[in-house]
Amino acid sequence: MKDQLLFQSSYSEWATRRLLTACATLPPTDIDRDTGGSHATIRRTLYHFYISEEFWVQCLRENTLPRLADIGGDADPTPTSLGDMQRDWPAVWRDLREYLEGATEQELADQLVGPDCRIHRWKLVLHLVNHATLHRGQVTSMLRQVGQKPPNTDIFTYALRDRS
């Protein structure tokens, strides 16, 4: 299980890095153009899944869950710049990788328990990857809407890059 979670999280990091690199070349007007998506703009969408990953990795590392009513919400705070996300996101990925490398198979199979919910740790890691994939797809669509060609972030491409 650990190897699979490390693969999935490494893939997600790789794909997000590719997307951030593609977005870094955009003018601010395109990064902040309302394209009608769930988080309106490229920057807001990237920021949404950045702060979500940061939050869930913190929960894993601290072995705790908040009340369900305190998770998420309809509005994300004002997003930081793309440059700030490029600078800060790698620490989140590092923290997740260190958590996974240090966890035992049993710990990954055990549940995080909150006041009104519980989830297996491995399922939470898969949620991180799935959530990121959803929003990378949205950003990919937004890039097309502003006239850009998005990078290939498919897991098959990631798997083929290392043919060992």
Q: What is the pLDDT of residue 163?
A: 61
Residues 6+ apart with CB under 8 A from 79: 43, 44, 46, 47, 48, 85
Question: What is the model's pTM?
Answer: 0.93
Helices vs. strands in the chain: H and E counts, helices first: 7, 2
pLDDT digits (tens, 9 = 90+) for 16-38: 999 999 999 999 999 999 999 88
Tens of pLDDT, residue by residue over 63-119, are 999 888 887 765 667 888 999 999 999 999 999 999 999 999 999 999 999 999 999
Angle 126-111-109 from CA coordinates, rounded to 5°: 65
Q: Is 69 strand, coil or helix? A: helix
Chain centroid to Cα 66, Å, comes to: 19
- Backbone φ and ψ for 110, nearest 5 degrees, come out as -70, 170
Chain centre distance of CA 152: 16
pLDDT tens-digit readout, 152-162: 999 999 999 86
CATH, domain range 2-161: 1.20.120.450
d(Cα 92, Cα 63) in Å, to the nearest integer? 16
